[in-house]
Structure 1
Amino acid sequence: MSSAAPQGACALCDAPQHPGAPLALCLNHLLEAHEWVEDAYGVTDVLPSPCAFCGSRLGVRYPSGWLCAVCEWRVGEPPPPGPAASRVDVVYYLRYRDRIKIGTTANPAQRFSALPHDEVLAFERGDRTLEQRRHAAFATLRIPGTEWFETDERLLTHVAALRDGHPDPWALLARWRSEEAARAV
């Protein structure tokens, strides 16, 4: 019969070290350290609502509030007027079940709130002209009277090429907006 190795004492007090802890700390001191890390470095989590500036759903929660993890915009503050809120039109690819929507917008977060979708697949910088070219390129897959397309290997290959090197469409949009704002000043 084997017995487990005895746990040592907490490095800061006489309490037993918490089982499995990577540091010689008791549970109370581990929790204090955890709270300090949360306060100092924040906790990455899903934002309560999409970022008003870039539309990302990923945020960092601090005791003082939330920041967008993509563009670092403070949640609850409206986007700035003028150059910092530069318009960037995108052609978007949304997946809902086994179909893909190809559309265009300058405000994806707002647009997507009105559309059923399971996943944002990709963004491509462009306006209605590019959207119409994409609709024509995949016309044989188009569901009549809609901007929804059947999924096939050609369309998936196109989406994969757009995502190559840019797996997070929201981060790419934030970069485009940042570049546009820099050009405007």
Structure 2
Amino acid sequence: MDSRCALCGGPPHPGAPLALCLTHLLEAHDWVAGEFGMTDLLPSPCVFCGSRLGVRYPSGWLCAVCEWRVGEVPPDDPAASRVDVVYYLRFRDRIKIGTTANPAQRFAALPHDEVLAFERGDRTLEQRRHAEFAHLRIPGTEWFETDESLLAHVASLRAPTPDPWSLLARWRSESAARA
């Protein structure tokens, strides 16, 4: 590393990854925080999804999970944030493909070991998935045998966000914001 600050010629801050003095490192930090936000704990849980993780910008806080702006009141109308999803539940060695707008309530009535994924969609998409994996379907049910094609589909749904619940929270927040 250079022995002088690249901007002012002063001594670089010890251990800094760039040849910058403390003043210029702090200026760079402030710029990054203003441009990209700083991840931190929210002052209080998100009123929309309950998360404590937030991103602080000079203009205010956003929930890091659902991107709800801190201080904004969620809609009174539950329909404003309704999101229909196709869900994938694992129970032992089988996977259920179903649809709901209220996963927590629906899952309370279903035996399952793990929520694998959510996919934004309604009965039409659910029926397409049932047809796509019909060769795995256990007759008379919405449960499917597990094989590589179904596991690959679930993995593709989980790739951008491994936690299905945080993805659902984001979709609900976006829906409410549009309403």
2:120 matched to which residue of 1?
125
TM-score (structure 1 length as normaliser)? 0.58
Name the CA distance, whole Å, in 1 between partners of 2:124 and 2:111: 24
Please point out which of 98, 119, 122 is paired with 1:103.
98
Map Cα deviations across residues 148-185 of structure 1 (whole Å, 9 max, x no partner). 0000000000000000111000000000001111111x
Identity of aligned residues (%): 84
Please point out which of 155, 161, 165 is paired with 2:156.
161
Q: How many residues are paired up?
A: 121
For residue 115 of structure 1, report the CA deviation from its aligned partner. Answer: 0.4
Name the CA distance, whole Å, in 2 between partners of 1:138 and 1:112: 22
CA contact (8 A) 1:70 1:170 kept: no
Q: Gaps (5+ residues) in structure 2?
A: 1-40, 43-47, 53-62, 69-73
Structure 1 segments, 4+ long, off by >2 Å, are: 68-73
Q: CA RMSD in A?
A: 2.9
2:17 matched to which residue of 1?
none
For residue 81 of structure 1, report the CA deviation from its aligned partner. Answer: 2.4
Please point out which of 142, 145, 156 is paired with 1:147.
142
Q: Gaps (5+ residues) in structure 1?
A: 1-40, 43-52, 61-67, 74-78
